Amino acid sequence: MTATALGKLREKVREGAEERPGVYRWYGADGRVLYVGKSVSLRSRLLSYFRERTGKAARIVAKAADVSWECKPNEFAALVGEMRLIRTWQPEYNVQHRRDRSYGFVKVTKESAPRLLPVESIANDGAAYYGPFPRTAWLARAVGELALATGLRNCPARTSIHFDDQLEIFSDTKIPRCIRAETRSCLGPCAGRCTGAEYRRGVRLAQAFLGARSQRPLGELAEAARRAARRLDFEYAARLHERIETLRRLQGYLAGFRGQIEKLNLVYPVSGFAGDSRLYLIRRGVLAAELPAPRSAPARDRARKAVRELFQPVAADRDGTLDGDAAAEALLTVAWFNRHPQEWERAQTPRQWLERG
């Protein structure tokens, strides 16, 4: 960037940016968003970029052709706004929020014979996702154990499926395609060893386990371990106990996160810049609605109606599934309240807010 262009950008910030919370975007010469940021004081933060001579800020300014900003009423709104913009634009200089590499999810694929897969991100592909979980390397082993416990396949997507209740056309459809099918640790949909209904029951069992609605896989493993011990096969019994602990840990992570999310059904009033106070309706960790702080009886009635409608339970609340954007925002909300525990004193459950209204 030339000195003249740099000076024009600096002057734009000096003349237009205010000392208030907000989000900002730096643009490259081709119009692409280079970087998204937030600040509780936009003007000071943006001007600081022009003083940097090294580091990321200096590199951003060197490539920038323009900058824009949007004021927010408070820091919480700026934080959520920043995350949503980053996930929308995927700027090259942003790292946080762009990739959810520190977390993993369990994916139940949408296929004729669904598989359980450990994944690092969520796609809009009709599959069901559970999580998030830390330590994705450990997660792969846990997902494999759940597939073993429920008999679900973990073979490639291209594997041909021939359920027992399908019309058999080719004579080799009864040949197992892997060692799991051969040893019957998989239901064997590749070799016609189960019907479609039988396989779907296995899928429902896995999803019930992930949704904390069933402990059956743990019970069956425990019984298998007892049988192994009775026949003095202690090595196999020990391996089964390890599998049990792995699955308990998997379910424990889900229960812990689900418990945190359930606490984040909140009506959250926040004082804003220059009296611009807001009422944030947070549903399962996601900022679902933003209202001006009600200051009159009609405004209060409108807010009460919005709260009642928004916090009606839906099926997805019970089965534990979620999408990627919701998971990322819920994690962000959890982090916000963990960093600012005093904010819990302002937040109320929907019932508390309605009763005190």
pLDDT tens, residue order, the chain (357 aa):
677 888 899 999 999 999 999 999 999 999 999 999 999 999 999 999 999 989 999 999 999 999 999 999 999 999 999 999 998 898 999 875 555 456 788 999 999 999 999 988 777 788 888 887 876 678 999 999 999 999 999 999 999 898 988 766 555 556 777 888 888 899 999 888 999 999 999 999 999 999 888 899 999 999 999 999 999 999 999 999 999 999 999 988 888 877 777 788 999 999 999 999 999 999 989 999 999 999 999 999 999 999 999 998 765 565 666 666 787 788 889 889 989 999 999 999 999 999 986
What DSSP state is assigned to residue 294?
Answer: P
Rounded Cα distance between 185 and 36, Å, is 49
Exposed / middle / buried, residue 226 (Cβ in 10 Å: 0-12, 13-18, 19+): exposed
Q: Which two tokens stand for residue 142?
A: 């846990």
In angstroms, the first-to-last Cα distance of the chain is 55
Closest by Cα among 197, 200, 191, 198 to 168: 191
Q: In this structure, what are the phi and psi dihedrals at residue 86, rounded to the nearest 5 degrees?
A: -65, -45
Classify the phi-psi angles of 167: left when phi > 0, otherwise alpha if psi is within -120 to 50, otherwise beta: beta
Q: Which two tokens stand for residue 50?
A: 């022009």
Closest by Cα among 56, 54, 63, 55 to 9: 63
Q: Which residues pair with 129 in a beta bridge?
A: 107
- The string of DSSP letters for 3-39 reads HHHHHHHHHHHHHH--SS-EEEEEEETTS-EEEEEEE
Rounded Cα distance between 35 and 92, Å, is 7
pTM, to two decimals:
0.74
Query: Tell me, what's the pLDDT at 337?
Result: 93
Do residues 45 and 67 touch, judged by C-beta distance below 8 A?
no
Query: Tell me, what's the pLDDT at 256?
Result: 80
Query: Tell me, what's the pLDDT at 179?
Result: 86
What does the buried/exposed string (b/e) look like for 60-99 if buried means 16 or more CB atoms within 10 Å of the residue's CB?
bbebbeebebebbbbbbbbbbbbbbbbbebebebbeebee
From residue 183, alpha-carbon distances to 6, 117, 176, 188, 193 in Å are 69, 21, 9, 10, 12
Q: Which two tokens stand for residue 137?
A: 């390397």
Q: Which two tokens stand for residue 261?
A: 């999310």
